[in-house]
Structure 1
Amino acid sequence: MIRDIARRRKVAVHLVGGFLRDYCLGNIKTDFDFAVEKGALDFARLFARRIKGAYVVLDQERGCARVVKKSDGKIWTFDLSDFRARSFQQDLARRDFTINTLSVDLAKFNGSTKLEDVLAEGKGGLKDLRAKRIRKVSVKAFRDDPLRLLRAFSLSALLDFKIEPQTLAQIRREKNLLRGVSYERVRDELFKILETERAAVTLKAMDKAGLLDKVIPQVKVMYHCAQKGTYHHLDVWPHSLEVVAQFDGVVREMQNNADVVEYFNEPLGGNRTRRALLKLAALLHDIGKPETRKEAGQGKLTFYGHERVGKNIVTHIAKMLKLSTGERRGLEDMVLWHLRPGYLSNFQRPSDKSIYRYLRDARQEAAGILLLSLADQRATRGPSSTPRHEKHHERICRDVLKLYFDKKKEKPFVRLIDGHDLIKQLRLEPSPLIGKILAEVTEQQVLGKIKTRKEALELGKKIAGEIRS
């Protein structure tokens, strides 16, 4: 249909970019990019009417629009843009990477034509695709759009390609250009990386290139924070990167656990999943350590309260990255409670009460924090971190993880009493006291210590008397 509209309007239209790149790699996607000789906005509007799809202007000034159509349970996305130069060849010369310069002239394509027969290589795209190489199209590529500095790494992570040396060297030289890019765009590229199983390798490569602290400037406080000693074999920053690597391993281990996979895949903001947010938490979980670091004598170091300081820092990072409220709260909880599974494993068998309180406090992030704790433990290999302790920690985390998902499958919890009951039956005034009583009564109900409404009211009366006295 796009070809037919192009013929009637007498304009050249080329299929370009990501769809063709992925097609050549054996991956068929439902996202298409078209370069239109002129009038892309009107062209897209007409196309949207023809297929009864949604029409959205992405960039009025540059003539870029999107058409979205849901069909057969899939979402089909068509981006149409005016040529970025006077000719299509000049347009290709202004694109980001050679693997994105593959193209098909729709005038040469019909229903019986194979894409391979009319595929144009562009700026050496096929050669670099076969070599699994990411190479800039021109020396102006990053200055034309500095987000491409980060996109080189997101493509590397998504495709498992290497960034060729000259392109990488230019990224190192021009990394500061990224500061001028909106954080919404930076966030989207960062989360593409975090969604992949090569997140850790890619973050380490970004760090080596000097780009990671341009994405999240706050990480610089961890750079020279020493912590090697009893439990840690790495200082704070290399440990943080290693925790992401270990978490990538945990994700692979859990790929056959349907409960965990569904939990990981839950979108917390837009199309960004809990899996990706947990990897961000893995990178940032110890960001509060530099501020709380103290020498305790005999070469020992303490970081008391670093989880609370870290929570405050990641609040600012979440707002900077324009994360959703759900993502921000999730990230805060992941950092705030990341030590709790370790506290549980300090006991041979943690009490039901301590497990309940952990699940209550960590809420929806309880399972993710347990898996983050597994990664944190595996990244901690100091002299006092023994195989026996590691095995015990893993057992506790896995046991509580199973309990979390078992609880989710139970019938919704119904309290024996509520605040209205306390006000009416015990003649209490509305106050914070009501919340304290309900918290204790709920805990005892969950633990099976009370089972009737009468017992709940009696306990509430007892707690009220103790607090008042």
Structure 2
Amino acid sequence: MDFEVWPEAIELGEMFAEEGYELALVGGPVRDLLLHRRSHDLDFCTSARPEQFEPILRRWGHDGFWDMGRKFGTLGAMRRRPDGTEVQVEITTYRSDEYDPDSRKPEVSYGDSLEGDLSRRDFTVNAMALRVPDLEFVDPFGGANDLSKRVLRTPVDPRQSFDDDPLRMMRAVRFVAQLGFGIEPETAEAICTMADRLGIVSAERVRDELVKLLLSDRPRAGIEAFVDSGLADVVFPEIPALQLEIDEHHRHKDVFEHTMIVIDRAVALETGPDGPVPAPDLTLRLAALMHDIGKPKTRRFEAGGKVSFHHHDAVGAKMTRKRLKALRFDHHVVDDVSELVNLHLRFHGYVDEPWTDAAVRRYVKDAGPLYERLNRLTRADATTQNRRKALVFKTAMDEMEERVRALKEQEDFNAIRPDLNGNEIMQELGLEPGPQVGAAYRHMLDYRLDNGPVGREEALAELHRWYDAQQQ
């Protein structure tokens, strides 16, 4: 088989061979070679123990070295090419991972052969290797054939594989999203029957797989596989809960199907690297996934066959915060996604009756740095098949955005403050710091949002008018 292999891989292979050790390129880089995709991150496995190959790797990786994975038999290094690009490598001793039934972390034991190491990998398409420097292709489990068929299958019995490392089930649905592959029936059946086993895996590891899925080219396909497999019931039950039953008397959109469409539309609305929401955007994609998770809790059957979901935005925001915290997302992601869910219906009132300039200012001020994402989420959420309604909505959103651009030319929304600051309010009213000053400040901020910039004299007059009214 003809390969165009990284020169760095050949060089490392020669360095290991000189010391009497085996070295092979494994996993994703080999798979990507066959898919004609290139990567600057290379994974290897070796017959040498970490303490034996560390000196070799340090000599090769003169621009960086790390050993955070030492307890798992893994060391890494980095080298810069003359053109400035970086090549990162990680090398792991032949190994075998197993899970204790009650443990959240794999137990590592070293192996003694490449074929044995490949047998413990997640899927056959990742269980191929290329020995270096001789370029011998090793494929004991038919990975190249599965790759051509675009199918995911485990090298050994799937029940054994998923019992050894349950996170492999999450990797399966992630690869559906990343590679566009299907899951082989026996492997899919094992995932469905063993989904509960995912519960022993740490939230952080599950989160990392979910993030990779969402940032892929096909997040919808991955989420659908995540739900169909039963894995979502274990770690993200709010998503399958969107599959609400619909009867002949009470009709509403299929909320899960609607959510999948919103994800597709949100991805399409992301921008290039120089745009306001560069693709792929995790915050926008999470918000698209979670924007309606409050609907199951708020569904009410109304007269005439209608169904309502009053306050599902506020309820969904609380549910979003709770779930993302449980999955150990960074606090800023939790805050931003929850706020987008909370605000995702805010624009709809504009469609019925265009806002005043004050209302437009409030919308932008409340959205803050999420303004561009919020507009894209709102557009993505407008999935009506009624062409007239769709056109009315788009026209209203275009108009509102144009008004925002015009207002921003007059004033900096991010810097909107009352015309009087707290010290000026205290001095003018003769107040000491306390709740009254805060109430006065909030009123003057509201006045500023309602009226735009006003002069100092007008602001002082409004302050005294408000304060006098409070004393009555």
TM-score (norm 1): 0.83
Give, in whole Å, the separation in 2 of the partners of 1:169 and 1:126: 23
Number of the residue aligned with 1:112? none
2:128 is aligned with 1:102: yes
**CA shift at 1:233, angstroms?**
3.9
Number of the residue aligned with 1:55? 65
Number of the residue aligned with 1:259? 275
Number of the residue aligned with 2:235? 215
**CA shift at 1:327, angstroms?**
0.2
Give SS of 2:89's match.
strand
Contact (CA 8 Å) 2:444, 2:463: kept in 1 or not?
Answer: yes
**CA shift at 1:217, angstroms?**
2.5
The change in CA–CA distance for 1:31 and 1:346 in structure 2 (over 3 A counts) is same
Contact (CA 8 Å) 1:227, 1:301: kept in 2 or not?
Answer: no
The change in CA–CA distance for 1:138 and 1:151 in structure 2 (over 3 A counts) is same
Contact (CA 8 Å) 1:102, 1:125: kept in 2 or not?
Answer: yes
Number of the residue aligned with 1:353? 358
2:234 is aligned with 1:234: no
**CA shift at 1:209, angstroms?**
2.2
**CA shift at 1:344, angstroms?**
2.2
Q: Cα RMSD between the aligned structures?
A: 3.0
Q: Which stretch shifts more, 155-164 or 458-467? A: 458-467
The change in CA–CA distance for 1:57 and 1:402 in structure 2 (over 3 A counts) is farther
Give SS of 1:108's match.
coil
Give, in whole Å, the separation in 1 of the partners of 2:239 and 2:327: 14
The change in CA–CA distance for 1:65 and 1:49 in structure 2 (over 3 A counts) is same
Number of the residue aligned with 1:170? 190
Give SS of 2:57's match.
helix
Number of the residue aligned with 1:80? 91
Match of 2:303 among 276, 297, 300: 297
Contact (CA 8 Å) 2:313, 2:344: kept in 1 or not?
Answer: yes
Number of the residue aligned with 1:43? 53
Give, in whole Å, the separation in 2 of the partners of 1:449 and 1:284: 35
Match of 2:260 among 244, 256, 259: 244
Q: Which stretch shifts more, 275-284 or 43-52? A: 43-52
Match of 1:462 among 444, 458, 465: 465
The change in CA–CA distance for 1:392 and 1:228 in structure 2 (over 3 A counts) is farther
**CA shift at 1:8, angstroms?**
4.2
Give, in whole Å, the separation in 1 of the partners of 2:405 and 2:144: 47
Number of the residue aligned with 2:318? 312
Number of the residue aligned with 1:431? 434
The change in CA–CA distance for 1:157 and 1:456 in structure 2 (over 3 A counts) is same
Match of 1:422 among 402, 409, 425: 425
Give SS of 1:67's match.
strand
2:396 is aligned with 1:370: no
Instruction: Report the residue type matching 2:142 in the other structure.
Output: G
Contact (CA 8 Å) 2:13, 2:24: kept in 1 or not?
Answer: no
Instruction: Report the residue type matching 1:293 in the other structure.
Output: R
2:301 is aligned with 1:326: no
Contact (CA 8 Å) 1:367, 1:404: kept in 2 or not?
Answer: no
Contact (CA 8 Å) 1:244, 1:375: kept in 2 or not?
Answer: no
Instruction: Report the residue type matching 2:319 in the other structure.
Output: I
Give, in whole Å, the separation in 2 of the partners of 1:228 and 1:346: 30
Instruction: Report the residue type matching 2:370 in the other structure.
Output: E
2:218 is aligned with 1:198: yes
Give, in whole Å, the separation in 1 of the partners of 2:444 and 2:325: 36
Give, in whole Å, the separation in 2 of the partners of 1:333 and 1:437: 26
Contact (CA 8 Å) 2:61, 2:78: kept in 1 or not?
Answer: no
Contact (CA 8 Å) 1:203, 1:241: kept in 2 or not?
Answer: no
Number of the residue aligned with 2:390? 390
2:25 is aligned with 1:15: yes
Q: Which stretch shifts more, 328-337 or 284-293? A: 284-293
The change in CA–CA distance for 1:54 and 1:430 in structure 2 (over 3 A counts) is farther
Instruction: Report the residue type matching 1:215 in the other structure.
Output: V
Number of the residue aligned with 1:137? 155
**CA shift at 1:255, angstroms?**
4.3
Contact (CA 8 Å) 2:422, 2:437: kept in 1 or not?
Answer: yes
Give SS of 1:32's match.
strand
**CA shift at 1:354, angstroms?**
1.8
Give SS of 1:96's match.
coil
Give, in whole Å, the separation in 1 of the partners of 2:218 and 2:224: 10
The change in CA–CA distance for 1:138 and 1:203 in structure 2 (over 3 A counts) is same
Deviation by residue 1:205-256 (Cα, 9 ceiling, x = unmatched): 22222222223023454444659989x6424xxx234323233234325546
The change in CA–CA distance for 1:219 and 1:246 in structure 2 (over 3 A counts) is closer
**CA shift at 1:42, angstroms?**
5.2
Sequence identity (%): 27
Number of the residue aligned with 1:268? none
**CA shift at 1:126, angstroms?**
1.9
Match of 1:121 among 131, 139, 158: 139
Contact (CA 8 Å) 2:301, 2:307: kept in 1 or not?
Answer: yes
Deviation by residue 1:169-227 (Cα, 9 ceiling, x = unmatched): 22222222211111111111111111123111221222222222223023454444659
Give SS of 1:35's match.
strand
Give, in whole Å, the separation in 2 of the partners of 1:456 and 1:165: 71
Contact (CA 8 Å) 1:200, 1:242: kept in 2 or not?
Answer: no
Runs of 5+ unmatched residues, structure 1: 110-117, 266-272
The change in CA–CA distance for 1:242 and 1:218 in structure 2 (over 3 A counts) is closer
**CA shift at 1:74, angstroms?**
4.5
Number of the residue aligned with 1:114? none
